[in-house]
Structure 1
Amino acid sequence: MSSQNLLTKPHYFILDGLRGVAAIIVVTFHLTEPLGTGHLDILVNHGYLAVDFFFLLSGFVIGYTYDDRWRKMTVTEFFKRRIIRLQPMVVLGMTLGAMGFYFTDSTIWPLIHTVPVWKMLLVMLIGYTVLPVPLSLDIRGWQEMHPLNSVGWSLFFEYIANILYAVWIRKFSNTALTVLVVLAAIALAQLAITNGDVSGGWTLNAEQVRVGLTRTIYPFLAGLLMSRILKPAYIKNAFLMCSFLLAVVLYMPRIGGAAHLWMNGVYESTCIIIIFPLIVYMGASGVLQNGREYRICKFLGDISYPLYLVHYPLVYFYVAWISDNKGVTLLQAWPYATLVLFGSIALAYAALKWYDEPVRRWLGKQSLKL
Structure 2
Amino acid sequence: MEKLNPAILKTKQHFEILDGMRGIAAIAVVTFHFMEVAYSDYSKDFIGHGFLAVDFFFCLSGFVIGYAYDDRIGKMGIKEFFKSRLIRLHPLVVLGSVLGLLGFLFDPFGAHPQLYGLSRMLLIFLCSILLIPYPAMSVRYFNLFSFNAPAWSLFWEYVANIVYAFVLCRLPRRYLIVLVMLSGAAICYVACRSGNLMGGWDGHSFWDGGARIAFSFTAGLSIYRYNLIIKNKLGFIGLSILLSLAFLMPFSAWNWLTEPLVVIIYFPLLIALGAGAQLHPGLKKICVFSGNISYPLYMTHYAVIWMFANYNTANKPDAIHLTYIITGGLIVLVTFAYLVMVGYDVPLRSYLTEKRKKQAVK
- For normalisation by structure 2, the TM-score amounts to 0.92
Alignment of 1:13-28 (within 5 A): 13-28=16-31
**Change in CA separation of 1:233 and 1:271 when aligned onto 2, cut-off 3 Å:** closer
Report the Cα distance in structure 1 between the residues aligned to 2:135 and 2:194, rounded to whole angstroms.
Answer: 25
Matched, 1:272 2:263: yes
- For normalisation by structure 1, the TM-score amounts to 0.90
**Change in CA separation of 1:84 and 1:139 when aligned onto 2, cut-off 3 Å:** farther
**Change in CA separation of 1:9 and 1:310 when aligned onto 2, cut-off 3 Å:** closer
Report the Cα distance in structure 1 between the residues aligned to 2:343 and 2:244, rounded to whole angstroms.
Answer: 30
AA partner of residue 176 (structure 2): L
**Aligned-pair distance for 1:235?**
1.7
**Aligned-pair distance for 1:134?**
4.5
Q: Answer whether contact 1:158 1:216 (CA < 8 A) is retained.
A: yes
Report the Cα distance in structure 1 between the residues aligned to 2:319 and 2:215, rounded to whole angstroms.
Answer: 35
Instruction: Give the counterpart of 1:247 among 244, 249, 259.
Output: 244
- In the alignment, structure 2 segments of 5+ residues that lack a partner are 1-10
Matched, 1:283 2:274: yes
- Residue in structure 2 matched with residue 120 of structure 1 by the alignment: 121
AA partner of residue 226 (structure 2): I
Q: Residue 235 of structure 1: SS of its match in structure 2?
A: coil
Instruction: Give the counterpart of 2:66 among 63, 68, 82.
Output: 63
- Residue in structure 1 matched with residue 283 of structure 2 by the alignment: 293
AA partner of residue 308 (structure 2): Y
- Residue in structure 2 matched with residue 331 of structure 1 by the alignment: 320
Report the Cα distance in structure 2 between the residues aligned to 1:334 and 1:70, rounded to whole angstroms.
Answer: 47
AA partner of residue 187 (structure 2): L
Instruction: Give the counterpart of 1:349 among 322, 338, 350.
Output: 338
Alignment of 1:207-222 (within 5 A): 208-222=205-219
Q: Residue 176 of structure 1: SS of its match in structure 2?
A: helix
Most deviating of 231-240 and 58-67? 231-240
Q: Residue 298 of structure 2: SS of its match in structure 1?
A: helix
Report the Cα distance in structure 2 between the residues aligned to 1:45 and 1:84, rounded to whole angstroms.
Answer: 33
Alignment of 1:7-156 (within 5 A): 11-104=14-107, 112-135=113-136, 138=137, 140-156=139-155
Report the Cα distance in structure 2 between the residues aligned to 1:62 and 1:155, rounded to whole angstroms.
Answer: 14
**Aligned-pair distance for 1:366?**
2.4
Q: Answer whether contact 1:14 1:288 (CA < 8 A) is retained.
A: yes
Q: Answer whether contact 1:23 1:308 (CA < 8 A) is retained.
A: yes
- Residue in structure 1 matched with residue 353 of structure 2 by the alignment: 364
Instruction: Give the counterpart of 2:226 among 199, 209, 229.
Output: 229
Alignment of 1:252-267 (within 5 A): 252-256=249-253, 263-267=254-258
Report the Cα distance in structure 1 between the residues aligned to 2:12 and 2:33, rounded to whole angstroms.
Answer: 36
> Over residues 141-178 of structure 1, what are the superposed CA-to-partner deviations in whole Å (9 max), with x where a residue is unaligned?
41011111111111001101111111112221110001
**Aligned-pair distance for 1:231?**
4.4
**Aligned-pair distance for 1:39?**
4.0
Report the Cα distance in structure 2 between the residues aligned to 1:129 and 1:311, rounded to whole angstroms.
Answer: 19
Report the Cα distance in structure 1 between the residues aligned to 2:283 and 2:226, rounded to whole angstroms.
Answer: 27
Q: Residue 72 of structure 1: SS of its match in structure 2?
A: helix
Q: Answer whether contact 2:191 2:259 (CA < 8 A) is retained.
A: yes
Q: Answer whether contact 1:315 1:340 (CA < 8 A) is retained.
A: no
Q: Matched residue pairs, number?
A: 349
- Residue in structure 2 matched with residue 4 of structure 1 by the alignment: none
- In the alignment, structure 1 segments of 5+ residues that lack a partner are 1-7, 257-262
Q: Residue 193 of structure 2: SS of its match in structure 1?
A: helix
Q: Answer whether contact 1:237 1:289 (CA < 8 A) is retained.
A: no
**Aligned-pair distance for 1:99?**
1.3
Q: Answer whether contact 1:98 1:121 (CA < 8 A) is retained.
A: no
Matched, 1:163 2:166: no
Q: Answer whether contact 2:20 2:288 (CA < 8 A) is retained.
A: yes
Report the Cα distance in structure 1 between the residues aligned to 2:143 and 2:122, rounded to whole angstroms.
Answer: 16
Report the Cα distance in structure 2 between the residues aligned to 1:233 and 1:52, rounded to whole angstroms.
Answer: 20
Q: Answer whether contact 1:112 1:140 (CA < 8 A) is retained.
A: no
- Residue in structure 1 matched with residue 8 of structure 2 by the alignment: none
Most deviating of 113-122 and 245-254? 113-122
Report the Cα distance in structure 2 between the residues aligned to 1:282 and 1:103, rounded to whole angstroms.
Answer: 45
> Over residues 119-146 of structure 1, what are the superposed CA-to-partner deviations in whole Å (9 max), with x where a residue is unaligned?
32332222111111253xx273410111
